[in-house]
Amino acid sequence: MSSEPRFVDAPVQAARAYELLAERIRARIRSGELRAGDRLPPETALAEEAQVSRSTVREALRMLQEAGYLERSSPRIMVVRAHDPDDDSAALTRAMRRGNLTFGDLHEALLVLEPELTRLAAARADRDDVARLRANLDAQAQQLDDFDAWNRLDQEFHLEIAEMSRNPALVIARTPISELLIPVLHRFMVSHKLTARGLAFHERIFEEIRGGDPEAAALMTRKHINDFLVGWERAGLPVDLQIGEVSDDAIARAGHAAVSAL
């Protein structure tokens, strides 16, 4: 058995597996783990690691290519496409400022969407869904001090739950909210105490999903979202702070302040 690190960290099994696979690759590009010019593994290797068909891999790569994340350097080689992340960040910041979007706005939106996604997931999850969540949580437990890795796994955990809801409309509605929160979370969750606290909530949500209790799963998700709000406020960040106005350094300092307040 090869000792080489896996490119895809977990099997992909979902009704729209190509979307989930595309999201996992896209998250690695956005986080900077995959950089411009980095070569992706061959389609056969991706299909084997993700446990999907080659046609599923091709569709995921096609989506990413059309979205500007990938390009072909030759007929058989796909690489990460060069782009300026500052341009993306500036465009997103301008959009947020135009809408006067605050952390409180995002918190309210999450309270509407996330518990319902989790409720549906608990009602509709099958054995494979539960196994994927368990594998994700085990990986989180191993990465509590690698904050970039933990945050990626955190994103995947919530994405898995969204996919388990089997409701494409809700998943689509949730996506832009995640896009706005991801940069904040990556800079706020910067301590073992915070990642361990997040994992503890994830474990409790998982137990309700595995037990098939939709209402309890939704309730635990609401508690998880509200706990993050408490951490935000303890860190001295106002709820009405416009997300586009807060600097990366300020968020990182606030994350450390939140640990002291625990």
- DSSP state, 15? T
Supply the pLDDT for residue 156. Answer: 86
One-letter amino acid of 100: N
Contact 153, 110 (CB under 8 A): no
Per-residue pLDDT of 32-62, as tens digits, reads 888 889 999 999 999 999 888 888 898 889 8
Cβ neighbours of 110 (radius 10 Å): 22
Q: Is the pTM of this model over 0.75?
A: no
Contact 136, 149 (CB under 8 A): no
Per-residue pLDDT of 135-184, as tens digits, reads 999 999 999 999 888 988 898 899 889 989 988 888 878 877 777 777 77
Cβ neighbours of 86 (radius 10 Å): 8
* Nearest of 235, 23, 221 to residue 118 by alpha carbon: 221
Q: Which domains does the chain have, with CATH numbers?
A: 17-80 (1.10.10.10), 85-261 (1.20.120.530)
Contact 208, 97 (CB under 8 A): no
